[in-house]
Chain A
Amino acid sequence: MQKLDRQFIRKVRRQDRVATRIITLGGLLVIASVIAILVLIVRVTLPLFQPAHASMTTNFSLPATTATPLAVGIDDTGEVGFLLDDHGLFSFYRIGDHSLLTTMAAAPKKERVLTVERSKDNVFTLLWADNSITVTQVDFRLLYAEDGQRTVKPEVMTLEESPARQYPVAVKEIKASAHEGRLTRVALLANDQFQIDREVVTTDLFDNQKKETFSLLIDEALPGMVTTFLLDAKGDTLFAGTDNGSLLRWDLRDNTSCRRTDNEVAVPGRKAVTSLAMVFGDISVAVGDARGGLATWSQVWTGEGKERTQKLRQTHVLTSHAAPITSILPTRRSKSLFSMDATGLVNYDHMTSEKHLLSLDRPLNLFALSGQGGSLIGLDQHRTVTVWGIDCPHPEISLKTLFAKVWYENYDRPEYVWQSSSGNDDFEPKFSLIPLLFGTVKGTLYAMLFAVPLAIFGAVYTSQFTTCAFKKTIKPVVEIMASVPSVVIGFLVALWLAPIIENTILAVILTVLILPLLFVIIMSALKPFYKKPSVKTFCHSYEFLLLVPVIIASMALAVWLAPFVEHLVFAGNFKQWLYNDLGMRYDQRNCIIIAFGLGIAVIPIIFSITEDAISNIPPSLSAASLALGASRWQTIWRVVMPSASPGIFAAIMIGFGRAVGETMIVLMATGNTPIMDWSIFNGMRTLSANVAVEIPEAAVNGSLYRVLFLCATLLFALTFIVNTGAELVRERLRKKYGRY
């Protein structure tokens, strides 16, 4: 017996120990995993703010030759780099073992290359000493062997050839562009004139090719000496910079005439413009100057009405260098730019966000980026080749683009814009969170304006003025109301209520005015009788039932009055009047609908917590007040409510938290347009609805995906702070009154 007992006790103790461990472990695990939610969401957003990173993969010296290198390049895999020298020879090197792979000539039997112009991915326009032009493309083919080994095979193709042309004056520089059968060649002559030659090949229905040539001379007086010029990829626009800081723009779309559209002073202090480049998308032009300044300019609509014209304006200023800028290299994937100054220092900046992404740690002479932007090759004056891997997944995101006004291309001024996708390829996504935050605040605010007074007054009445029996029915009813799924509320307000309100908008507004009026009238009528005992016994505790007819009457009155008012005051059509006289558009799914929907969702929450807070005030307080002769309202207003105010505050906060995060109602009952307008007659887009709308389309780990996680983080933080504040307040209240 003794032994058995001991065994039993041991067994029980062991069980207890194991259970303690399991429960502790399980409990801690649950709590840890709950905290892990926040950590994980934040972790997805973090790469948005990680700085760009360039890691040097290798560097090696090239053998000395007589040829001068004019351009470099690298393939996407980062395995083969090349060098183009002034003999028109491409030398390909294996980056891995620094050995020469092959050499290829850009064109047979040519003398010397004067200048090289790079456009697109590894397309080079070579100007030879005899003024002829060759457009070549370097292409890399990936070949897979049987064993899965990958080799990169470079190829050089000639895209266009233009024969030698004699110019009357010596040529300083020639630029050319080939686009859809149109070869445009612009030569800057020694006397600062531009000679424009264009070959247009058209193909008719029967496949007959027709070649036309056009020639133009820009001989107008220029504000200064041209230091650099630029032709865009289509050959439609010519930009030129002068030694006194002027930026000129010509429109070359017409074959037979050209027009100077802009002449702006682009550099403060009238220092020389030293370098020009088109930013990806061919809308903005990057201007580098002798001070080392780097800015982008694009065409912006200015003026009003008929005067409205497009003018070149400076839109972004990027990180400046200490020395004059010698070359600008736009990337082909985003609106980012590499810029190099006279000392060989290279900066990497993003145009729209004006974010400085990185600076390379060694001076260079020539540099180039691979097509996808993953590798960068540089050549310095000692003929040393350096290769970097560039890691910059989200150049366009910065705190500034998320939360400040940003000047996007094709916009007239900096604005807050959320526009995550569009039809065309070179579209730049616009991720301003301000319209979404604005929408969240707007929707929540209107909902709270509607819900808070109703819920708090209703709770006061329920806890203090009605009978115990009613209280016991109303509380569960309100609690059940709180559990109505939001998708149901959303559907009802969006598909049932919204059309009704749209048709009777004026009656709705009139009800809001008539109801208090009617209420005051009835109160005044009641005044002589309210002290009579018979009235007291009849009315007390049943006021809310007696008032239901008042609500119905005022609604009926409003519906009856609406056509007359509309006819007399609003010229027969309220919505038309709203649009004509106030400039407000009426959307079917607007803030009134949202206020109703969100209001119905949060009223039960605010109601319950407020009711709890008021009921928990010790009855001795109100008893004392009533004994001292205060009326029942005075007792509530001056004694009970102040004591319960922290609880009521907590109720409002928790209601606010729920309204901020509510998704389905907002998704269904607003138009989800990210606009910023306080008007109660139109919709908005909230953070939560934005996540629900956009996440199915977002590519995993892309910028949009991470920005949406950021939205979720913001929501999390917002509601967590609000709820924690409310919870602390409630805890203090509980301690104070010693209940629960």
Chain B
Amino acid sequence: MSKKFWQQGEPFVWATGLALSLILFLTMLLLYVVIANGLMVFWPKQVALATLSDGRQLLGEIVREEVIPGGQAKRLQFKIGNRDLYGLDFKWVDASSITSMSFPQNVQVLERQEFGNFYGFLSELEVKGLAPPATGSNSLEQTIAALDSRKKEVSLLGKKIANLNRRVEMIDHRLIQAHYDKEENTPALAALQGEKEGLKTEFEALVGILNEKGAALATNQAIFLDANGRTKAIPLVNIVRSYQPNAMSVLAKCGYYLERMRELFLDEPRESNTEGGLFPAIFGTIMLILLMSVLSFPLGVLAGIYLREYAKDGYLVRLVRIAVNNLAGIPSIVYGIFGLGFFVYGVGGSIDQMFFPERLPTPTFGTGGILWTSLTLGLLTVPVVIVATEEALGAISPGIREGSQALAATKLQTLTRILLPMASPGILTGFILAMARAAGEVAPLMITGVVKLAPALPLDGVFPYLHLDRKFMHLGFHIYDIGFQSPNVEAAKPMVYVTTLLLILIVLLLTSTAIHLRNRMRQRYSVTDV
């Protein structure tokens, strides 16, 4: 009996089951980590006031609790913020040295333009030119809200100045062009120079006003006390958001959460990308995928149709088919380096020499940009589209083709009226898979044009609207950059988790749509086949 048990291999069946459960366990674990960490980032955490055994006090969020390696004692990690006061955002404290811990209601948390969060207690408000602030727990919020219109005024001025700057830049380009063309002393040139001077004076005047208003705004400040009673004056303009987490109701917390989500999707990043929103990165990712699709899908479908419908089946076609199948397995970094060598330095360099010689040696197209990146990614995803198109066409039974041709339809008519509509779900699946792959690739982007912080979007309201030569931001690269190259990795982690969650959601959404489509298509064909 016992021998039979092992001989018949029952334990091995269980062993294969163990393998599957390990795979699923690991997958679920990783997904759980991303989702749990990513979703919790924006939920306001309680701020604890801990009194240590030496009498000092500590104010901060409890981030982690762990057993000290090699011992039984526990220690806590506090996020104490106030980088401008303490130098470090995080602090480890032995649990044994904490004598008491409380969660005071009036703890104020500030999100600031610089130096990260501030944790403290509001002491007084110094406001000029505004109605005296109402007293009470939310006087700070009210005052900040009252300053809003003036803040908007200043930021509008800033935008105006940036606009002027851009116009000066364009004039500069034209001047360089004129200089290159050996154009001298023409009236057009003089007009340009005059315009530039005019813009410059306007620019200086605006900068003067901006500085004045900014300085006036900065005099409005609030005095805060930290845990140990040190005072700190913070200009109200530097406060992005302020809240009292310990006093917040669940509903208020939900509101705060939604506000942070809005910021995430619509705002620009702050503090070397570790705070603020992801708008440029989301925009860059979507734009990249769209550009890539425009370039790759038609070519891929064309090649797929050729291989399946037009090419004569032979040794060569078989070889090409194997080659195309394999190209999907070529490492993405190889495509990246090809994009760099061929598109950026080869094609881009030639374009610069032909069309923008006056700007050299400053490259226009001869450096990384969204056009080159999307071309590279297009090349990378072409095999996916080819394979999907081919398989979708191949799944259609030959009887349908023959029937159509027997009714005197030409090949093109058969293709456009019969085969393509039937294959469209399959081809669509290929498109979606290609988009999912493009959304997740980072290595080829890193060397063909993605940057950690792009000054302008590749699409804006300035002529020629679509700036294909611009560098851009990308969610995937954002993860790599802030997770691995930011000076303060610990403080950046929450943002990395959020970005990761967002990227995973995009990719999983695309992939599961594709799989769903494919399954539905399979069902349809299994019916038509019969």
Task: Please tell me if A216 contacts chain B, counting CB pairs below 8 Å.
Answer: no
By Cβ-Cβ distance, the 8 closest A-B pairs, closest first, are A661-B331, A27-B306, A633-B9, A485-B440, A457-B19, A543-B17, A631-B8, A461-B16
Q: Which of B166-210 contact A (CB under 8 A)?
A: none
Interface string of B312-336 (1 = CB under 8 A from A): 0000000010111111011111111
Are the CB atoms of B342 and A15 closer together than 8 Å? no
Q: Could you say which of A82-90, A157-165, A713-721 contacts chain B?
A: A713-721
CB within 8 Å for A491 and B480 given contacts A23-B306, A24-B310, A709-B337: yes
CB within 8 Å for A491 and B496 given contacts A547-B17, A716-B330: yes
Are the CB atoms of A31 and B442 closer together than 8 Å? no
Are the CB atoms of B329 and A658 closer together than 8 Å? yes
CB within 8 Å for A634 and B9 given contacts A485-B439, A712-B337: yes
Are the CB atoms of B302 and A30 closer together than 8 Å? yes
Are the CB atoms of B436 and A720 closer together than 8 Å? no
Interface string of A462-485 (1 = CB under 8 A from B): 100110000000101111110111
Q: Which of A20-77 contact B (CB under 8 A)?
A: 20, 22-24, 26-31, 33-35, 37, 40-41, 44
Q: Which residue of A22, A457, A544, A719 contacts B329 across the interface (Cβ within 8 Å)?
A: A719
Q: Which of A596-648 contact B (CB under 8 A)?
A: 600, 603, 607, 631-634, 637
Are the CB atoms of A700 and B17 closer together than 8 Å? no
CB within 8 Å for A27 and B303 given contacts A488-B34, A527-B5: yes
A466 to B99, CA, bound (A): 56
A282 to B306, CA, bound (A): 63
Q: Which residue of A41, A520, A527 contacts B334 across the interface (Cβ within 8 Å)?
A: A41
Are the CB atoms of A572 and B22 closer together than 8 Å? no
Q: Which of B17-72 contact A (CB under 8 A)?
A: 17-27, 30, 33-34, 66, 69-70
Are the CB atoms of B302 and A26 closer together than 8 Å? yes
| A102 to B: closest C-beta gap in Å | 36
Q: Which residue of A15, A479, A485 contacts B442 across the interface (Cβ within 8 Å)?
A: A485
Q: Which residues of A are found within 8 Å of B256, using beta-carbon distances?
A: none
CB within 8 Å for A31 and B303 given contacts A23-B310, A458-B20, A491-B480: yes
Q: Which residue of B9, B20, B503 contacts A544 across the interface (Cβ within 8 Å)?
A: B20
Task: Please tell me if B441 contacts chain A, counting CB pairs below 8 Å.
Answer: yes
Q: Which residue of B14, B322, B415 contacts A543 across the interface (Cβ within 8 Å)?
A: B14
Task: Please tell me if A696 contacts chain B, counting CB pairs below 8 Å.
Answer: yes
Besides A481-B27, A633-B9, 9 other A-B contacts (C-beta < 8 A): A24-B310, A27-B306, A34-B323, A488-B504, A519-B11, A668-B480, A695-B447, A696-B446, A724-B326
**Which of A41, A458, A490, A572 has the most chain B CB atoms closer than 10 A to its own CB?**
A458
A520 to B24, CA, bound (A): 21
Task: Please tell me if A727 contacts chain B, counting CB pairs below 8 Å.
Answer: yes
Task: Please tell me if B299 contacts chain A, counting CB pairs below 8 Å.
Answer: yes
Could you jot down 14 A-B contacts, CB within 8 Å? A13-B410, A23-B306, A34-B382, A461-B13, A480-B508, A487-B480, A487-B503, A488-B34, A491-B500, A548-B25, A654-B329, A692-B333, A719-B330, A728-B322
Are the CB atoms of A480 and B512 closer together than 8 Å? yes
Closest to B296 in A: A30
* Residue count of chain B within 8 Å CB distance of chain A: 99
By size class, the interface of chain A is: 35 or more
Are the CB atoms of B504 and A700 closer together than 8 Å? no
A487 to B499, CA, bound (A): 11
Are the CB atoms of B330 and A483 closer together than 8 Å? no
Q: Which residues of B are found within 8 Å of A546, using beta-carbon distances?
A: 17
Task: Please tell me if A494 contacts chain B, counting CB pairs below 8 Å.
Answer: yes
Closest to A548 in B: B21
Q: Which residues of B are found within 8 Å of A474, using beta-carbon distances?
A: 20, 24
Are the CB atoms of B17 and A633 closer together than 8 Å? no
Task: Please tell me if A514 contacts chain B, counting CB pairs below 8 Å.
Answer: no
Task: Please tell me if A349 contacts chain B, counting CB pairs below 8 Å.
Answer: no
Task: Please tell me if A492 contacts chain B, counting CB pairs below 8 Å.
Answer: yes
Task: Please tell me if B282 contacts chain A, counting CB pairs below 8 Å.
Answer: no
Are the CB atoms of A16 and B20 closer together than 8 Å? no
Q: Which residues of B are found within 8 Å of A513, using beta-carbon distances?
A: none
Q: Which residues of A are found within 8 Å of B307, using beta-carbon distances?
A: 27
Task: Please tell me if A708 contacts chain B, counting CB pairs below 8 Å.
Answer: yes
Are the CB atoms of A664 and B10 closer together than 8 Å? no
Q: Which residue of B20, B326, B327, B382 contacts A461 across the interface (Cβ within 8 Å)?
A: B20
Are the CB atoms of B14 and A547 closer together than 8 Å? yes
Are the CB atoms of B70 and A572 closer together than 8 Å? yes
CB within 8 Å for A631 and B23 given contacts A485-B440, A696-B447, A715-B334: no
Are the CB atoms of A712 and B338 closer together than 8 Å? yes
Interface string of B482-519 (1 = CB under 8 A from A): 01100001000100100010011001101110010001
Are the CB atoms of A716 and B334 closer together than 8 Å? yes
Closest to A695 in B: B447
Q: Which residue of B1, B23, B340, B440 contacts A607 across the interface (Cβ within 8 Å)?
A: B23
**Which of A453, A495, A551 has the most chain B CB atoms closer than 10 A to its own CB?**
A495
Are the CB atoms of B515 and A479 closer together than 8 Å? yes
Q: Which residues of A are found within 8 Å of B9, using beta-carbon distances?
A: 631-634, 637
Are the CB atoms of B496 and A26 closer together than 8 Å? no
Q: Which residue of A465, A573, A600, A719 contacts B13 across the interface (Cβ within 8 Å)?
A: A465
Q: Which residues of A are found within 8 Å of B320, using beta-carbon distances?
A: 31
Task: Please tell me if B369 contacts chain A, counting CB pairs below 8 Å.
Answer: no
Q: Which residue of A27, A465, A692 contacts B302 across the interface (Cβ within 8 Å)?
A: A27
**Which of A478, A486, A492, A572 has the most chain B CB atoms closer than 10 A to its own CB?**
A492
Are the CB atoms of A603 and B23 closer together than 8 Å? yes
Q: Which residues of B are found within 8 Å of A30, using beta-carbon distances?
A: 299-300, 302-303, 306, 382, 386
Q: Which residues of B are found within 8 Å of A658, using beta-carbon distances?
A: 329
Task: Please tell me if B278 contacts chain A, counting CB pairs below 8 Å.
Answer: no
A550 to B340, CA, bound (A): 50
Q: Which residues of B are found within 8 Å of A708, using beta-carbon distances?
A: 337
Are the CB atoms of A23 and B305 closer together than 8 Å? yes
Closest to A35 in B: B323
Are the CB atoms of A663 and B333 closer together than 8 Å? yes
Q: Which residues of A are found within 8 Å of B333, using beta-carbon distances?
A: 661, 663, 688, 691-692, 712, 715
Q: Which residues of A are found within 8 Å of B217, using beta-carbon distances?
A: none
Q: Which residue of A19, A37, A461, A476 contacts B17 across the interface (Cβ within 8 Å)?
A: A461
Are the CB atoms of B345 and A545 closer together than 8 Å? no
Q: Which residue of A503, A572, A660, A691 contacts B337 across the interface (Cβ within 8 Å)?
A: A691
Are the CB atoms of A492 and B324 closer together than 8 Å? no
Are the CB atoms of B326 and A664 closer together than 8 Å? no
Are the CB atoms of A700 and B345 closer together than 8 Å? yes
Task: Please tell me if A312 contacts chain B, counting CB pairs below 8 Å.
Answer: no
A727 to B333, CA, bound (A): 22
A695 to B504, CA, bound (A): 28
Q: Which residues of B are found within 8 Å of A457, using beta-carbon distances?
A: 15-16, 18-20
| B495 to A: closest C-beta gap in Å | 12
Are the CB atoms of A668 and B299 closer together than 8 Å? no
Interface string of B228-270 (1 = CB under 8 A from A): 0000000000000000000000000000000000000000000
Q: Which of B339-357 contact A (CB under 8 A)?
A: 340-342, 345-346
Closest to A462 in B: B20
| B34 to A: closest C-beta gap in Å | 7
CB within 8 Å for A487 and B508 given contacts A40-B338, A661-B334: no
Q: Which residues of B are found within 8 Å of A111, using beta-carbon distances?
A: none
CB within 8 Å for A544 and B440 given contacts A13-B410, A34-B324: no
A238 to B342, CA, bound (A): 51
**Which of A44, A566, A728 has the most chain B CB atoms closer than 10 A to its own CB?**
A44
Closest to B501 in A: A488
Interface string of B102-116 (1 = CB under 8 A from A): 000000000000000
Q: Which residues of A are found within 8 Å of B330, using beta-carbon distances?
A: 661, 716, 719-720, 723
Q: Which residue of B326, B345, B386, B447 contacts A723 across the interface (Cβ within 8 Å)?
A: B326
CB within 8 Å for A695 and B493 given contacts A631-B9, A719-B329: no
Task: Please tell me if A530 contacts chain B, counting CB pairs below 8 Å.
Answer: yes
Q: Which residues of B are found within 8 Å of A523, using beta-carbon distances?
A: 10-11, 14
Task: Please tell me if B2 contacts chain A, counting CB pairs below 8 Å.
Answer: yes
CB within 8 Å for A37 and B379 given contacts A27-B303, A495-B493, A719-B329: yes
Task: Please tell me if A206 contacts chain B, counting CB pairs below 8 Å.
Answer: no
